[in-house]
A = this chain, B = another copy of it.
């Protein structure tokens, strides 16, 4: 595949959609008159908070697993993640009949570990540093023959995540553009492929924008610099699923197919999240609100437009909500 020609993915993308369909929900697209009035645009929001295990990550996990040979499936898979991809790979593995080992930092929240176990995953704990994470993963691959699946920098994962946007564009074909949150880059790269194929089919452009927390603006800087940038140690955001950075597989796709990254403040994220909860009655996680926050942060780009947004997930800790009174 040539990353410079996103339409060259048409066949593998179509195969991916067909392959994962039995394992995922086609989630609804919802609108809010009140949010549209505030945004001055017509927003169509793809409710991946209703996806299995509560986030779009299920799509990519399933697709990656279904691409393995029977021998590979028998030996299982391994990933490192303390977020939604951990749960997604665990549930996907149970669903397709293989097993997943998840390397998680020792200090990951108990609620996330329990969720992984609840979906049938095996947890291996490591020290909360990148080197320990990699060492533990390498050891499991060496000892068990498990296949490593990267949470976002894997073409099959990218294609799987892109199916969320392909569905959105089928459910609302008249969209002028699409906005997704950007973390590790899997979703926004998949969105770029889906939008390029849609644009070709419709005969008009459908640009893709990424929303990213200003606190961890590595993707914004990566596009500007033309090379993958990381975040300074300790950089933090309430949208904790977006702290990761781009990779060699998704970066060229993003360079080719993402028009711009829009950065948003922590306050803008919480405010957008609150609007989704209040007006749409949807439980979404902070990362999911980043796309809406980007629309509010850049009114000139979106005014009067029909904008598709991916509400990426709904796995939020109800015991520590940002808008609860203390």
Contacts and interface: CB of A to CB of B under 8 A. Distances in A.
Interface of A: 28, 30, 49-50, 54, 274, 277-278, 281-284, 314, 318-321, 323-326
Contacts of A284: 281
A99 to B, nearest CB: 20
Most B CB within 10 A of own CB, among A28, A281, A314, A320: A281
A274 B318 contact: yes
A282 B50 CA distance: 9
A282 B277 CA distance: 9
B50 A277 contact: no
Given A28-B28, A324-B325, A326-B326, A318 B278 contact: yes
A281 B314 contact: yes
Nearest to A55: B281
Contacts of A282: 281-283
Given A28-B28, A274-B318, A318-B274, A281 B49 contact: yes
Contacts of A28: 28
Contacts of A321: 318, 321, 324
17 contacts: A28-B28, A49-B281, A54-B281, A274-B318, A278-B318, A281-B282, A281-B283, A281-B314, A282-B283, A318-B321, A318-B323, A319-B324, A319-B325, A320-B324, A320-B325, A324-B324, A326-B326
Contacts of A318: 274, 277-278, 321, 323-324
Contacts of A281: 49-50, 54, 282-284, 314
A324 B319 CA distance: 5
Contacts of A274: 318
A167 B215 CA distance: 47
Closest 10 CB pairs of A and B: A324-B324, A281-B314, A281-B283, A49-B281, A318-B323, A319-B325, A277-B283, A321-B324, A320-B325, A283-B283
A293 to B, nearest CB: 17
Contacts of A54: 281
A274 B111 CA distance: 15
A324 B322 CA distance: 9
